[in-house]
Structures are given as structure tokens and as C-alpha cells.
Chain A
Amino acid sequence: MRFNLAGTLTIVVMLVLWEIAVRGGLVTFEYLPAPSAILVASWTLLRSGELAAQTLHTIGAVILGWVIASALGLALGLALGYSRTARSWVEASLELLRPLPGIAFLPVALLIFNFSLETELAVMVYASVWPVLINTMGGIMNVATRLHDVARTLRLTPMRTVTRLLIPAAAPSIIVGCRLGLGTALVMAIIAEMLGNPHGLGYAVVSELQAMQPERMFVYVLVIGFLALALNAALVAASRLMLRNRG
């Protein structure tokens, strides 16, 4: 992508206006910190190691939850995409459970697991299993019937049909599902940390709010934003690589 000068300038101008507005007392928000104050706070948090610790917790939790959700979604999606019988016996139940917002599940997870990493993982896995499951199932179902004929002609065992033909053919759809799942996992991790598991970036934001440390709170908010962008960019790059090397 070409360097976007106009876009960068917009952000710089906005930051400068923000700084002027806060210093000159032009804004009515009592607690809005100036960008320079946020910068200073981020340096303190960086040096004390707090920022790194909270960020690492969140990244670790997100990846763990995402891997569990992806494995689960892939397995279920494969089974349901492959077998029409299995689908007819299960699909309606899944369709009833799917619209249940993951966040409503958080209080239940809290009842069962208390304030812990398990709560965070339970909520993440519940919410991010759906995109993987649905995309895998759809991808497998849409594989051309011609490929099934190929499998029959070559007398492939069901196992080999799945691993050699169906998964590669459905890969683009599966990868999109995993990408959506990662985004969901991050959102749910932040929510769970705000309300359920007192660790990580989500917890840091809420506790700095309660401690009336707006500069520090904004540091964590921005870090979460950049983390989301970085995770997405990494996955876009990874999926391009995987789809190119497929053969």
C-alpha cells in the first residue's frame, strides 16, 4: 500500500487540535487528557513493565482461546459439512444457540468458574467458535460434487477424502472463519477482563478509570486498538501466504 500523506496529516492535525483544546481549556470534558500527557503516561507504564505484563496476558489468552475455538469449530464444522445425517440431527439446535450473545453467557461463566482465566476462556470460546464452525461447514458443503466423484473413483477412504480433497478445497472459507474468530476472541477477551477476569488490558482500562487516571486509561485504550489492527494485519498476511502455497 502507498504511503497515505493526507491520511497521516489528518491524524496529526487532529492530535494537535486536541492538545490545544485541552491546554487552552476549550473542551468541557473535565477528564480528557492531552495527547502529550498520554505519551508521558505510556512511557511510565512502559518502564514499569506494567504495560507489557497486561498486554502479554491478553495476547496469551486470546491466542489460547482462539486455538481452542478454532479446533472445536473445525472439528464440528467438518463433521456437519461432511455428513448430511449429522447435520439434520444437530443444525436446528445450533441455530437456536447461535444468536445467544456471548456476553450474556459471561454471568453464567462467572457463576461456574468465578473470577478466573477459565471464565475468560469460556466466554471467548463460546463466541468465537461460531464463525469457524459456520464457515467450515459451509465451505465443505459447497465443495463441488465433482470432487466427491473424484474421491469415489480413486477409492479414497473417508479420512483421506477429508484431508486430501475437502479441507484444501474449503480452505479459503475456513481461513475467513478463523480470521473472524480471532477478532471475536479479542473483543470477548476484553469484555471478560473488564467484568470477569481481573487481569489483562480490559481490566487495566476499567481499573484506571476507577482510579481516576485518565492518561493511563487512554494508553491502554490505544494499545488495545493497535493490538486489534496488528492481529488483523498478521492474519491477513498469514492467510495470503497459506492460500498461495496451497497446491
Chain B
Amino acid sequence: MRARRFLTGLPRLRGVLPLVLLLALWQVAAPSRSPYFPPPSTWWTSFESLSRSGRLYPALASTVLTFALGLAIACLAGGVLGILIGTSRAARRALEPLLEFCRGLPPPVIVPVAVLLLGYAESLKLLVVVWVAMWPILLNVAAAAERVDPLLHDVALSFRLGVLQSLRKITLPSIVPPLMIGVRVAVPLAIIITLLVEMITMLPGVGSLIVTAQRNFRSADVYALLVLVGLVGFALNIFFVVIEDLLLRRFPPRMHNAQ
């Protein structure tokens, strides 16, 4: 059933035609050693030689690992801090301007600040991703925690639910839907920032691989890596759509949480 619903939401297949035509035209028209627009067939040869060189897969693994770990820590930290801030009116009011500034700060400027304070350490990549991905999650959870029906806490009290049980029955169901909205915003941000840290610091990863290729004017490598990044981004998007679908089925959004 789910597969069918997923398919009906999909755009018509013939819509791929413009992209295919563009690539075909590119292949025919571009000179094979063009420094700007190398034809797509050379991207594939580049990709093959990159993957044979043994540099590609460790870089890819490092990038994906940083992204995944950073996002996971951001979910945990954003969720916990969000609940704490959301349930206390005073804390929320006291922290609001600071939080707004931190969220509004364009993510890329965090990278030089982190480099200044921590130096070019491997841990820097992870820290920056966590910092950037945490804000949308934290603020969404805080806003939702504030709106949790106070009656539900009374229910927990009168049923004498233990801490664990009340976490599972009351807190989780009201936190998961806003957390997933935050994650939806955080995923593209986390991808961008992971690549950016690697590009600026040249720490190992796909980002530094692309920059190295560009600085050496290996343009076919640049395009090959661009396509790879696009495919990974596409796969991650689909992965998170499925995760969100599963989680929201298990924890459907409450009516009073909807605007």
C-alpha cells in the first residue's frame, strides 16, 4: 500500500527527458578535453579512476559518517534541550533572544570560529555539524513541548506512571512529530555544512576531494564528484522521507500540535 501511495506522488517519468536531452547534447557538442564542460562520458572514466585510486571510498565514508553522527547527536541534544527549554516558561523567555541569534546566524560562519578555537582537528567537523543541525530541532521541540496539554501530565500523575513509562507514553508521542519537522530542515543544512567544513579545512572527505580536483583543473573529476554528491543527497532525502513516514505512523501528530 505504501509503495503505491509513494508511486502516485511521483512525477511522470517523461519529465526526465529534458535532463537526458541536455546530457546527450552535452556529450555530442563538447570537446572531449574541454576545461569547462567535459562531456559526461569523461565523468564516468574519471569516476572509475577515482574509485580505483582508493581515495574515493574512505573520503565518502568519512563524509557520510560525519553527517550521520552529527545529525544523531543533534537530534539527541536538540530534543533534550528543547524539552527543558519548552517546559519552563522562564527559561524560554530568558534564552529566546540568544537562541534566535544562534539560529539566525548563517551556518557557514561557524566554520572559521570553530577552526580558530579548536584548530584543524578531526573533531571539528563533527562539532560544526552538530551545532548547525541542532537549532531547527531544538526550536521545534521547544515550541511543541510548550504546547503539550497540561492535562497529559496530570494523567501521568494520576496513573502513577514511572519516569520511563511517562517518557514513552506522554513525552515521546508529543516530541517525535516536531522533532521530525526539525530534522527535515536539518538534513540539507547538515549536508551543506559537512561539505563546507571539508572544503575550508581540507580535512579528508568528499568536500576536500572536489576542491583538490578543482584546484588541479581536473574538471571531469569535479563533475563526477558533483554527480556523486547529488546521488548521495538524493538517497539521503528518500531515506529520511521513509524514516519520517514510519515514525509518524507510530507517533501520529496530535491535533492540538497542529497549527
Contact = CB atoms under 8 A, between A and B. Distances in A.
Interface of A: 4, 6-11, 14, 29, 31-32, 87-97, 99-108, 110-112, 186-187, 190-191, 194-195, 202, 205-206, 209, 214, 217-218, 220-221, 224-225, 228-229, 232
28 contacts: A4-B93, A7-B95, A7-B97, A10-B97, A14-B98, A87-B11, A87-B15, A88-B14, A89-B14, A90-B15, A93-B16, A93-B17, A93-B18, A96-B16, A96-B19, A97-B230, A99-B236, A100-B233, A102-B192, A103-B195, A104-B229, A107-B214, A190-B109, A202-B108, A217-B112, A221-B105, A221-B112, A225-B101
A101 B229 contact: yes
A229 B207 CA distance: 29
Given A99-B233, A105-B226, A8 B106 contact: no
The 9 closest A-B pairs by CB, nearest first: A92-B15, A91-B11, A107-B214, A93-B19, A7-B97, A100-B230, A104-B229, A99-B233, A6-B94
B63 to A, nearest CB: 11
B85 interface: no
B204 interface: no
B7 interface: no
Contacts of A9: 94
B15 A89 contact: yes
Contact of A10 (B98, B113, B223): B98
Contacts of A111: 35-36, 214, 217, 219, 222
Contacts of A91: 11-12, 15
B96 A195 contact: no
Contacts of B98: 7, 10-11, 14
Contacts of A95: 11, 15
Contacts of A87: 11, 15
Given A31-B116, A92-B15, A99 B109 contact: no
A2 to B, nearest CB: 10
Interface residues of B, number: 57
Given A7-B95, A107-B214, A187-B192, 20 more contacts: A4-B96, A6-B93, A7-B93, A10-B98, A87-B15, A88-B11, A88-B15, A89-B14, A97-B19, A99-B233, A101-B188, A108-B222, A108-B226, A110-B214, A191-B192, A195-B200, A209-B115, A217-B116, A218-B113, A224-B109
Contact of B196 (A88, A108, A191): A191
A191 B214 CA distance: 16
A228 B106 contact: yes
Interface string B35-70: 111000000000000000000000000000000000
Contact of A107 (B17, B210, B237): B210
B230 A88 contact: no
Nearest to B213: A107
Given A191-B108, A221-B112, A229 B233 contact: no
Interface in B101-150: 101, 104-109, 111-113, 115-117
B93 A190 contact: no
B237 A194 contact: no
B104 A229 contact: yes
B255 interface: no
A228 B100 CA distance: 11
Contacts of A102: 192
